[in-house]
């Protein structure tokens, strides 16, 4: 396994995967505690449509998917405020629109091709040097923003009304959280694909909540689980010639099961 690290594709996969997984894990803790777990799922499906549009127009997928996903995240927050519906309905509508648009664009582009398939299920072992640069830079930025505002985000996840009376700009931070989720989800698509990217958000956080006794501990455990699953998933992909994205998610599922079964009540 160690000799695999000399290959460039393996180094790129690990760099992109570890940074994206750490950002997803941090973000996931806030999303799960704020009861917004499904936002990542909805935005990932929406991003599938955005990537389809980019491929149809022969534009760089990230350049198209990031702004569109950020707009969709704000729409998910606005629809319940103004449209008289609950948030999960808004997520469902945005998600379905994205998938439908993706299928339409793929059809217009001559059917599903290999490129679009790799965005559906991820292809971490084929990320380019430029993609690694973007993934590492943006993931680090997402992590830095989350850590900078962690105390306010923690307070509003625990008790949003009290947080407001302590001067926390709850609405603004909710919008920021949604936009960061959009950004992170798009970055995660190359790692595990649109179908599975929300698992990088939810699984590490859910596992951390089984074992952590403090908020600081929950953030640390989530990052350890997220990055550990990338290492184990990529190793499994190399050793057993299985799809890396699927291996990463299944490792996460196994870690959650272990944490759930061994947790102290």
Whichever of 157 and 248 has its CB closer to another protein, that residue is: 157
Q: Is 84 in the site for another protein (CB under 8 A)?
A: no
Binding region for another protein (CB under 8 A) out of 9-17, 91-99, 159-167, 192-200: 159-167
Q: Burial letters for 72-101: b for 16+ Cβ neighbours within 10 Å, e otherwise?
A: bbebbbebeeeeeeebeebbbbbbebbbeb
For residues 27 to 56, the per-residue mask of contacts with another protein, x marking binding by CB under 8 A and - elsewhere, is: ------x-x---------------------
Examine residue 147 and tell whether it contacts another protein (CB under 8 A): yes
Decide: residue 6, CB within 10 A, 0-12 exposed, 13-18 middle, 19+ buried: exposed
Q: Cβ–Cβ contacts within 10 Å for residue 135, how many?
A: 26
| Helical spans, DSSP H, in the chain | 8-33, 37-56, 61-83, 87-108, 114-121, 129-148, 150-158, 160-165, 170-192, 197-211, 215-240, 244-262
Q: Does 7 bind another protein (CB under 8 A)?
A: no
Closest to another protein by CB, 111 vs 213, is 213
Contact flag: residue 173 with another protein (CB under 8 A): no
In this complex, which beta carbon is closest to another protein, that of residue 100 or of residue 144?
144
- Complex with another protein: residue 33 or 135, whichever CB lies closer: 33
Q: Tell me: does residue 225 bind another protein (CB under 8 A).
A: no
- 215 counts as binding another protein under rule CB under 8 A: yes
* Nearest to another protein of 108, 166 (CB atom): 166
Q: Counting contacts by CB under 8 A, is residue 210 touching another protein?
A: yes
Q: Among residues 129, 148, 171, 172, which is the contact residue for another protein, using CB under 8 A?
A: 148
Residue 162 binds another protein, judged by CB under 8 A = yes
Interatomic CA distance for residues 194 and 198, integer angstroms? 8
Q: Tell me the window of 14-22, 44-52, 119-127, 151-159 that interacts with another protein (CB under 8 A).
A: 151-159
Q: Determine contact, residues 214/98, Cβ cutoff 8 Å.
A: no
Contact between 217 and another protein per CB under 8 A? yes
d(CA 159, CA 68): 31
Q: Which residues bind another protein (CB under 8 A)?
A: 33, 35, 147-148, 151-152, 154-155, 157-159, 161-168, 208-210, 212-218
């Amino acid at each position: 396994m160690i000799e695999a690290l000399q290959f460039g594709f393996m180094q790129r996969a690990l760099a992109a995967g570890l940074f994206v997984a750490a950002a997803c894990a941090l973000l996931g803790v806030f999303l799960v505690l704020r009861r917004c777990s499904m936002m990542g799922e909805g935005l990932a499906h929406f991003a599938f449509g955005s990537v389809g549009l980019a491929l149809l127009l022969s534009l760089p997928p990230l350049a198209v998917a990031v702004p569109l996903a950020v707009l969709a995240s704000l729409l998910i927050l606005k629809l319940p405020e103004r449209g008289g519906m609950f948030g999960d309905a808004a997520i469902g509508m945005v998600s379905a629109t994205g998938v439908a648009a993706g299928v339409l664009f793929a059809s217009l582009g001559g059917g599903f091709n290999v490129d679009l398939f790799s965005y559906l299920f991820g292809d971490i072992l084929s990320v380019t040097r430029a993609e690694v640069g973007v993934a590492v830079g943006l993931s680090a930025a997402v992590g830095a923003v989350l850590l900078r505002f962690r105390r306010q985000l923690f307070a509003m996840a625990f008790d949003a009304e009290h947080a407001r009376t302590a001067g926390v700009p709850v609405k603004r931070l909710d919008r920021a959280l949604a936009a960061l989720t959009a950004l992170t989800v798009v970055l995660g698509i190359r790692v595990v694909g649109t179908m599975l990217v929300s698992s990088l958000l939810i699984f590490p956080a859910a596992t951390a909540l089984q074992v952590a006794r403090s908020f600081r501990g929950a953030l640390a455990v989530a990052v350890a689980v997220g990055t550990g699953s990338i290492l184990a998933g990529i190793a499994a992909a190399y050793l057993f010639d299985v799809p890396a994205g699927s291996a990463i998610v299944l490792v996460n599922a196994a870690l959650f099961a272990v944490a759930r079964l061994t947790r102290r009540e």
